[in-house]
């Protein structure tokens, strides 16, 4: 039996994938304590783990990020990304470390498992030597000679010329655009009582075991991929009990008569309807499709979305059970949340992605690169651009064929058990768990 300390930042998209790993570990008889925001305590306890509270100063609610983190208000583009990195992940790291050290002293864990953005867990490993497992919650951030730096949303290098371009972009991003982010990261390390690191914020990676919850065909190929990185397949959440909306029979009828059903969603973080929901409803109002909109926030009527009335072909709810909805869909229009994209791919549904905030442009770029859909290259698409992209995805067989291949690859993985097997090996073998065919010579320095 292992004693496992889990750590996640206060974001739903970081907690949901971890739940599947924790449920599997608990089912195997391991004891789990989970350091997380208080809003997630009920879900954590239902999973069979013990909730460990965070210090109130760093425990915020992602239901309204700008209310929780006022520094984000009014910021867009690069300025917002940098403000988010600082407010969500860098500034809290010293407090996270203090909390985790106290939890370690009280609980006596054999290892810590943390989402990839949890810097406090990385510091805990560095200071205490506790084995550390990282869990990816988005596209791979890991630097590579074959890819442009994370945040540039550029496709991977194809040849020598592309690699030269990649080196130039990497220099620009690290030395210019995110220079102050690295400075903040190094300063917070000193606040936490640790010496400056050799790398940057983007270089933080467990050298022992890192679990990436997707399949290789959705991630850029890297000749220098660290050997402790393992693809485990998507961590698709277990279907929670949920009542179907009153209009569910409309979907069943549309499916029977061959009318395409399209989901439009902005996930759980960037939920301002002006960015995608409202433009999509207007763009698709006259299309021969049935549009399902999930708001991610309470919906009391069209005024919630800034509309006087809903189009006749639209159905709206705060949430719809994806495990029931996905088999009915012909396409998904999304702002590019990683979890939602993985669920769509797992069900073989092509995508139109309008990613403009957080890391969503990177996810959108991977959707296009993998052939699974279209990247609109903006977070606020015009009605014309969105409508044209959806028509292509619905009409061109190549998107459906490609996403079917990815879905079959995903079906060959069993993410929860695979993650638990690798975690158990790390505790048992007490050395980095190297992916089959990889060499230890490439072990990451981080």
Read off the CATH number of the domain in which 329 is found. 3.40.50.2000
Q: What does pLDDT average to over the chain?
A: 91
- Which strands, in side-by-side order, build the sheet including 331-334? 314-317, 290-294, 261-265, 331-334, 351-353, 373-375
Top-confidence residue, 54 or 73 = 54
Lowest mean pLDDT among 105-119, 157-171, 307-321, 420-434: 157-171
Averaging pLDDT over each range in 70-74, 355-359, 422-426, which range is the top one? 422-426
**326 and 394 belong to one structural domain:** yes
Average pLDDT of the residues in 86-110:
97
Q: Tell me the pLDDT tens digit for each residue of 266-296.
A: 876 666 777 888 899 999 999 999 999 998 7
**Residue 79 token pair:** 């300025």
What is the rounded average pLDDT of the residues 9-22?
A: 95
Q: Are residues 432 and 403 in the same domain?
A: no
Note whether 165 and 159 are within 8 A (CB).
no
Please report how many Cα atoms fall inside a 13 Å half-sphere around the Cα of residue 66, on the Cβ side: 9
The reply to whether 205 and 268 lie within a common domain is: no
Residues 188 and 216 in one domain: yes
Q: Which two tokens stand for residue 330?
A: 């012909």
Q: Give CA–CA dist 276/280, Å, rounded.
A: 6
Tell me how crowded residue 141 is: count the other CB atoms within 10 A of its CB: 18
Residues 70 and 210 in one domain: yes
Q: Are residues 287 and 227 located together in one domain of the fold?
A: no
85/156: higher pLDDT = 85
- Is residue 298 situated within a structural domain? yes
Which structural domain range is residue 399 located in?
248-410
Which three-class secondary structure state does DSSP give residue 50?
Answer: strand
* DSSP reduced 3-state for 213: coil
What pLDDT, on the 0 to 100 scale, is given for residue 99? 98
Q: Residue 241: inside a domain, yes or no?
A: no
Query: What is the total count of domains within the chain?
Result: 2
Q: What is the pTM of this model?
A: 0.91
């Amino acid at each position: 039996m292992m004693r496992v300390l889990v750590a996640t930042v206060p974001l739903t998209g970081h907690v949901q994938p971890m739940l599947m790993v924790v449920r599997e570990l608990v089912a195997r008889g391991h004891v789990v304590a989970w350091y997380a925001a208080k809003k997630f305590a009920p879900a954590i306890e239902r999973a069979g783990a013990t909730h460990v509270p965070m210090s109130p100063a760093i425990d915020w609610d992602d239901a309204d990020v700008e209310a929780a983190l006022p520094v984000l208000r009014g910021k867009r583009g690069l300025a917002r990304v940098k403000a988010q990195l600082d407010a969500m992940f860098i500034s809290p790291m010293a407090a996270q470390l203090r909390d985790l050290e106290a939890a370690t002293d009280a609980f006596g864990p054999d290892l810590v498992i943390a989402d990839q953005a949890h810097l406090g867990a990385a510091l805990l490993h560095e200071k205490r030597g506790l084995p550390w497992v990282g869990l990816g919650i988005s596209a791979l951030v890991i630097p590579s000679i074959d890819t442009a730096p994370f945040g540039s949303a550029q496709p991977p290098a194809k040849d020598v010329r592309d690699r030269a371009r990649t080196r130039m972009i990497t220099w620009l991003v690290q030395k210019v655009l995110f220079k102050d982010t690295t400075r903040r990261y190094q300063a917070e390390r000193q606040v936490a009582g640790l010496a400056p690191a050799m790398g940057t914020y983007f270089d933080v990676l467990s050298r022992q075991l890192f679990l990436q919850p997707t399949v290789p065909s959705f991630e850029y190929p890297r000749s220098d991929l660290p050997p402790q990185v393992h693809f485990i397949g998507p961590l698709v959440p277990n279907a929670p009990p949920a009542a179907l909306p009153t209009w569910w029979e409309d979907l069943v009828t549309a499916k029977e008569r061959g009318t395409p059903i399209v989901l439009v969603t902005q996930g759980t973080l960037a939920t301002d309807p002006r960015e995608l929901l409202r433009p999509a409803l207007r763009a698709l109002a006259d299309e021969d499709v049935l549009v399902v909109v999930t708001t991610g926030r309470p919906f009391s009527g069209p005024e919630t979305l800034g509309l006087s009335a809903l189009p006749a072909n639209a159905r709206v709810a705060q949430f719809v059970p994806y495990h029931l909805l996905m088999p009915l869909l012909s396409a998904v229009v999304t702002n590019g949340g990683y979890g939602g994209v993985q669920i769509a791919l797992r069900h073989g549904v092509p995508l139109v992605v309008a990613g403009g905030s957080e890391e969503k442009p990177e996810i959108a770029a991977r959707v296009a690169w993998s052939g699974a859909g279209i990247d609109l290259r903006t977070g606020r698409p015009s009605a014309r651009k969105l409508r044209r992209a959806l028509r292509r995805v619905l009409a061109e067989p190549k998107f459906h064929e490609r996403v079917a291949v990815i879905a079959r690859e995903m079906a060959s993985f069993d993410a929860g058990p695979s993650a638990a097997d690798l975690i158990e090996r790390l505790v048992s073998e007490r050395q980095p768990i190297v992916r089959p065919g990889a060499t230890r010579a490439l072990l990451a320095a981080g």
